[in-house]
A and B are shown apart, each in its own frame.
Chain A
């Protein structure tokens, strides 16, 4: 029998790699791409106030958000897929936040962390946005002032559940290919003809 054919009963030590790859393929067929996505969220820390300190604690060793795959804090919106809005947002800052949100590539999710980001908190003044959800689509609200790191991790886990639920269908149900349709966002113009211009 071919040594590299998969049969658990005749498996020898040499075959470990082949069997693992095989179960990995099965695993992905069941869990789908979402398993990879949910466990490698790259947050953008939009930390504007005291909640940012708790966000840092969440990333540090004691709470270690790396256990949930979300430790890669990226300060470039192009590289991140989870916007964590931590802290109050001044009205002057809101266009910046909106622009950052627009610059993030799909798929993307937003956590509004803390009382201020979610409602304005105690800062009911002319200068503070009364909840970023008035101007941005928010997926998860993390309550607290500031939320403890456990609460934020709970919020990240909630995002993971959203990824599981709304994500791409596993290939065991979908068949081959991702079946994602990319529509061009722009119309390709016919190239200008040099002859018509020179007439």
Chain B
């Protein structure tokens, strides 16, 4: 088991030019939690992820979760979408989070399906809910909402009640049946 600092050190010896840093994923009041994330630029994302999976000190075999936060109107936020890769090493029993920020008008990231095949549906979900396009994805379709749906409902600027999508379905009455 390696501490987040050791994981970061391993990454930084391999990629010294990136000068990556650890940050706490959550803070309660002023107290930082002990779950740490590394912020990576989209261009470096795949290299770092592949290194984290393959290096003997880190060995993150499993992509536990892939999710996103919309920082629209968030105090002090400079980027809009924070895509979070949650990694677990079954060998070493340690975890790390990788965060990658993308922006409108076309938030784009390279796909991680070549590293973890299980990323396929998670990336589809992010595409569906946040409209983040994963380039190179083998089958980037909506996964939860229906095909005719146009919006990306987990974006903060999407109204909870929708934009009338639920009203325009055909209606059956007794004579049809």
- Given A125-B161, A126-B160, A130-B166, are A137 and B177 neighbors across the interface (CB < 8 Å)? yes
- Given A91-B165, A134-B171, are A102 and B176 neighbors across the interface (CB < 8 Å)? yes
Listed stretches A93-101, A143-151, A157-165, A185-193; interface member: A93-101
Q: Is the CB of B166 within 8 A of A128?
A: yes
Q: Is the CB of B170 within 8 A of A98?
A: yes
Q: Is the CB of A95 within 8 A of B161?
A: no
On chain B, the number of residues with a Cβ less than 8 Å from chain A's Cβ atoms is 21
On chain A, the number of residues with a Cβ less than 8 Å from chain B's Cβ atoms is 21
Q: Which of A92, A102, A128 contacts B177 (CB 8 A)?
A: A102
Question: Interface residues of B: mostly helix, strand, loop or mixed?
Answer: loop
Q: Is the CB of B170 within 8 A of A135?
A: yes
Distance (Å) between the CB of A130 and the closest chain B CB? 7
Residue of A nearest to B166 (CB): A91
Q: Is the CB of A135 within 8 A of B169?
A: yes
Q: Is the CB of B162 within 8 A of A126?
A: yes
Residue of B nearest to A106 (CB): B177
Is B174 part of the contact surface with A, judged by Cβ < 8 Å?
yes
Residues of B near A124 (CB, < 8 A) are 160-161
Q: Which of A104, A125, A128, A137 contacts B173 (CB 8 A)?
A: A137
Is A86 part of the contact surface with B, judged by Cβ < 8 Å?
no
Chain B residues with CB under 8 Å of chain A are 144-146, 151, 153, 158-163, 165-166, 169-174, 176-177
Chain A residues with CB under 8 Å of chain B are 91-92, 94-95, 98, 101-102, 104, 106, 108, 124-130, 134-137
